[in-house]
Amino acid sequence: MEPITFVLAVFAAMIYALLGYLKSVDPEGTPEEMDWPKIAATMVLGVLIGFGLAVMDIPVTAETVAVQMLSYTGVLYLVEAIIKAVIRRWQAWKAKSNT
């Protein structure tokens, strides 16, 4: 297990969380306040993905660092999007069944 794989995935999660914050502004141009629980959730997800990828023992070379960073960011986005979709669908189903 290469620790650099884990570190790269966590770093990708940090970049992803920071970009998510930087792109969020209201219509007047006021930046969104830091949502620490949301950032923490993204970081935990990055740690879990990093651990999973490190266990898979994917080699990291100088030539592939950029590609792996983009791949880890993509994996993070997909996993986060799937989790959000499931939670939102479940909440909508639950709200609909309560009425």
Give the pLDDT confidence of 11-33 residue by residue, as tens digits: 877 887 777 777 777 777 777 78
Q: In whole angstroms, what is the distance from residue 21 CA to residue 24 CA?
A: 5
Predicted confidence (pLDDT) per residue in 53-97, tens digit: 777 777 777 777 778 778 878 888 888 889 889 999 999 998 888
Q: Are 49 and 5 in contact (CB under 8 A)?
A: no
Alpha-carbon torsion, ordered 53, 54, 56, 62, to 10 deg: 90
